[in-house]
Structure 1
Amino acid sequence: MSRWEPNARGRLEQAALDLYRERGFEQTTAAQIAERAGLTERTFFRHYADKREVLFGGSPALEQAFVDTLAATPATAAPIDAMAATLETVAAFFLERQDFARQRQAVITANAELRERELIKLASLSAALAATLRRRGVKEPAASLTAEAGIAVFKIGFERWVGDSGERTLAEFLRESLHELKLVASGE
Structure 2
Amino acid sequence: MVSKSRSEWSTILSHLVLAAVSLHAAVTSAQSSRGAAAGFLLQTFAAITMLVPGLNTHEDCLAGAWVATVIGLPLLAFDFHWVNGDRSSANLLLGGGMVLAVAGDHLGPEGCSVAGQAVLLVVSVTILIVAVFTANTYGIWGGAMLGVAGLLSRLEEDRLLLLPKEDVCRWALTAGSWAYCRALHTQRLQWE
TM-score range normalised by the length of the shorter chain: under 0.3
- Say which structure is richer in helix: 2
Q: TM-score, normalised by structure 1?
A: 0.27
| TM norm structure 2 | 0.27
- Bigger Rg over Cα: 1
